Amino acid sequence: MFGEDDLVKSHQERADLLFNIIVIAFAILLARLWYLQIYRGKQFFNYSLENRLRKDVVRAPRGMIFSRNNVLLTHNVPRFDAIVTPQYLESSDETVAYLGQILEMTPDAIKKILKRYQGQAKYIPVVIKKNISRKEVAIIETESARLPGVSVETFISREYTDRDAGAHLLGYISEISQEKLPKLRERDKYDYKQGDFIGQAGIEQQFDLEIRGQDGYQFMEVDARGRARRHVSSDDLYSGIENKLAEPGKNVRLTIDRDVQLAAYHALDGKDGAAVALDVETGEVIAMVSRPAYDPGNFSTGLTSNYWGGLVMDEKRPLRDRTIQEHYSPGSTFKTLTHIAALEEGIINENTKVVCSGGYRMGGRVFHCWKKEGHGVVDVIKALQTSCDVFYYTIGNKIDIDVIYKYATMFGMGQRSGIILPRETSGLIPNKEWKKKRTGVEWQKGETLSCVIGQSFVNVTPLQLAMFYSTLANEGKLYRPHVVKEVFSNTGQVLKRYEPELINEFKISKKTLDLTKRALFDVVNVPGGTAYSQKGVGIQMSGKTGTAQVISFSADKIFSKCENQEYRFRHHGLFTAYAPSVNPKIAVAVVVEHGCHGGSAAGPVARAMVSAYMNKYFPKYQEKLIAEDKMTFEEAIEDNRVNPFPMVPETNPVDFYDEQGVLVRNYVLTRDGKRAPLAPIKEGAGTDGE
């Protein structure tokens, strides 16, 4: 038999072995706990947070765009998008079917959208429907228990105060497609994300990086089904969790005057064309309108295929900015350039007279004047006043096309202006070298006759025409047109200011300027002038009408009534002007496609723009202009010399249009100098058919 000591001794070894096993087990457990809680604790804590927290992007509001007088031209407004986060999507068929009922979409349509993004991480939300109604928002929020993984995202969309009135100038924003994402990242050196919006035209495109701001993010605590519970920030539970506020974009102040812009826009109602107004002394763009246009706000809320297809397939091309992306034959507005070149080169002078019998023969061809019976005897003043083609054909037979090229390019035609807007076209001013290189054929003299009256190869943009007449008005200073005054922060700090840029300066003789300016004055202000019907009161406008043929007509149809032609074959109507005639401040150019006559189609648009500008900025000076209403050009100049009147713009001009774009304050001046409410523009017949 074993004693008690032997029994204890026999179990001691087993107890020691068991103890060692227990110690080793606890050591392993403690080591594992240390490894998980200490060594990799932060990593697993982050995993835990990722399951409990959702990082929502907070979109940065885009910067605002203002007019020159601080009228807001763009708005940021909230919109709501229905989104699905695949990571939390449970019972997908049931959820998708119920979501389809709420959003009035088929389940297949929703599944197709989800399939399109199945290659991206499952925690990244997918937008199912943009710009949903408040009713749909309410249903999704209240039915969240039946919609795991479905939520509503608030998004800031872009609206434009005057909708299509400034569409081409301001541009629009749209969502970056998956295909364009890598290219845009490379181009702009900016980390664009899927779902980001980017400026696609106009100011929105050119200043996108300044306007777009920096997105922030907000952490949201969610349950196991992805439903939001509360916003979280750094505290005892979520140490180190920091939300980032979105940084709004910078703001842009334009040179555009909204009242002149809207005056041009409304004057172009029912017409296709373009209108541009420039500050003669700085090159600032006062107005820039292209019609037809589109509502740029539709692009930020999501386009329907029908709307986009309608824009793209529309034969009138509403997406095209006619002010800088379309070029036209300038017609008789180009005669002013021919006039200046011929005077400067000594081909004509103040004593030159030409007999116009209705045509000019060169070789076997007759070049017709627009007036079938002719103008009779015309001098250098009457030639421009009545737009006599034969007078300029005579010049064309004596002047070299390269001389025309020299003066036209001097005034900024046939070349891009360098305005800070995308896709500007250069137009064309031909010369001998261009013709030879393009066709392999030498320049023919007969081609010069067509070019000197603004036909044939000559093509310019409306902006270039405005630059030409602005440079003539200021007597030889060609400014680069600029549409932005400054970029500034939300605190009002100016970050960049754009100053006038003189790109060319040249001297024109006083005699040439006097003769040309007097003739342009007579075009509008003397009976018999081709734009006398557009004289107006208190604006003292000088200008030139123009008609540009779209196709060539045979001799038996050349004098047929334009309005009886098929619309697409009708002439374009043009009008260019500056005002006041003495001490000019504003230059305008208007093109009305298929308007037939410059005086009656384009003239009223120019008059509306000049009237709005003068009424707003120089109402006191208008009293002087009314007193000079019946004066000749020479008398008006002398009156300004003897009785100088400071032409000082109003320091706080009153806006004519309210926030809804309704005209509430503008007026016109009657012949007796009294102010009357602005009446709708009535088109009168032009005196010359131009």
Looking at residue 679, what is its pLDDT? 42
pLDDT band at 188 (very low <50, low <70, confident <90, very high): confident
User: Residue 671 above 70 pLDDT?
Assistant: no
Phi, psi dihedral angles at 197 (to 5 degrees): -105, 150
Q: What is the mean pLDDT of the chain?
A: 87
State the CATH class of domain 264-292+322-480+497-677.
alpha beta
Most confident of 27-31, 417-421, 614-618: 417-421
Share of the chain above pLDDT 70, in %: 88
The residue written with tokens 């890598």 in the block is: 182
Strand, helix or coil at 493? coil
pLDDT band at 688 (very low <50, low <70, confident <90, very high): very low
Task: Say if residues 255 and 613 touch (Cβ distance below 8 Å).
Answer: no
Most confident of 9-18, 210-219, 390-399: 390-399
Q: Are β-strands 65-66 and 251-254 bridged in parallel, bridged antiparallel, or unpaired?
A: parallel
Looking at residue 193, what is its pLDDT? 83
Q: Among the listed ranges 72-76, 102-106, 549-553, which one has the minimum average pLDDT value?
A: 549-553
pLDDT band at 30 (very low <50, low <70, confident <90, very high): confident
Report, as an integer, the average pLDDT of 230-256.
77
Share of the chain above pLDDT 90, in %: 53
User: Residue 269 above 60 pLDDT?
Assistant: yes
b/e map 476-510, b = 16+ CB within 10 Å: ebbbbbbbbbbbbeeeeeeeeebeeeeeeeeebee
pLDDT band at 362 (very low <50, low <70, confident <90, very high): very high
Looking at residue 44, what is its pLDDT? 62
**Identity (one letter) of the amino acid at 324?**
I
Looking at residue 5, what is its pLDDT? 64
Looking at residue 41, what is its pLDDT? 66
Which has the higher per-residue pLDDT, 586 or 49? Answer: 586
Looking at residue 664, what is its pLDDT? 64
The residue written with tokens 């054909």 in the block is: 393
User: Residue 537 above 70 pLDDT?
Assistant: yes
159-174 pLDDT per residue, tens: 999 989 999 999 999 8
pLDDT band at 511 (very low <50, low <70, confident <90, very high): very high
Closest residue by Cα to residue 344 from 514, 181, 462, 493: 514
Most confident of 111-115, 305-309, 399-403: 399-403
Q: Among the listed ranges 126-140, 275-289, 569-583, 671-685, which one has the minimum average pLDDT value?
A: 671-685
User: Residue 313 above 60 pLDDT?
Assistant: yes
pLDDT band at 676 (very low <50, low <70, confident <90, very high): low
Report, as an integer, the average pLDDT of 247-276.
95
What are the structural domain ranges in the chain?
A: 264-292+322-480+497-677
Looking at residue 680, what is its pLDDT? 40
In terms of Cβ atoms closer than 10 Å to its own Cβ (0-12, 13-18, 19+), residue 249 is buried
Most confident of 216-225, 363-372, 498-507: 498-507
Q: Which helix (H) or strand (E) holds 676?
A: strand 675-677
Task: Say if residues 637 and 540 touch (Cβ distance below 8 Å).
Answer: no
Q: Which helix (H) or strand (E) holds 93?
A: helix 92-103
Which has the higher per-residue pLDDT, 667 or 475? Answer: 475
Report, as an integer, the average pLDDT of 212-216.
86
445-456 pLDDT per residue, tens: 999 999 999 999
* Whole-angstrom distance, CA of residue 371 vs CA of residue 360: 12
Looking at residue 425, what is its pLDDT? 97
